[in-house]
Amino acid sequence: MITYLYWAAVIGIAAVILFGIGMKAKKWKPGLILSVIILVVGWGAYTFHFQQIFVKRYGGVMAIQVPAGQLHMGATWKDDNLWIENYDPKTNTCIFTEYSRGNLLEGKVIIKNCNPLMSRQ
């Protein structure tokens, strides 16, 4: 819900700037430029800062897809970053992948000969 409110606010501010400057001042070009800047800054702030904070703290919306051929085992939060644990049966490895803000500094831990889904004999 918070994600939708954020985007409604960003789009609303951009629309007010566009029509406020465009209609009232009859300056559509500066209004359009400022509106685009607001939308780009809003997108950047969401992608690189707010997305995971909204999901973790306020019940926002986020979608992650499990890579083909892997099985999902679990997920956990470390600070504001999400860690996903998957298992690859072809290579018998457990893969922990970090989804950090903006997907820039993502970590990955690979455990070989993991085999968590079958009993050890």
How many of the other CB atoms lie within 10 Å of CB of 24? 9
Q: Report pLDDT digits (tens) over 3-17.
A: 889 999 999 999 999
Domain finish residue from 28, 58, 88: 58
In a domain, 105, yes or no: yes
Are both 46 and 77 inside the same structural domain? Answer: no
Are both 53 and 75 inside the same structural domain? Answer: no
Are both 75 and 52 inside the same structural domain? Answer: no
In a domain, 121, yes or no: no
By residue range, what is the domain housing residue 102? 71-112
The reply to whether the predicted model has a pTM over 0.95 is: no
| DSSP SS3 for 16 | helix
Question: Can you give the C-alpha Rg of the chain in angstroms?
Answer: 21
In a domain, 63, yes or no: no
Q: 64: part of which helix (H) or strand (E)?
A: none
Q: 92: part of which helix (H) or strand (E)?
A: none
Among candidate residues 119, 114, 120, the one with its CA nearest the CA of residue 87:
114
Among candidate residues 18, 6, 81, 1, the one with its CA nearest the CA of residue 42:
6
Residue 115, amino acid: N
Question: How many domains does the chain divide into?
Answer: 2
Q: Which residue has the tokens 């800047």?
A: 37
Interval 22-46 mean pLDDT = 90
Q: Report pLDDT digits (tens) over 56-105.
A: 888 777 788 898 999 999 999 888 788 999 999 898 899 998 887 666 66
Are both 20 and 52 inside the same structural domain? Answer: yes
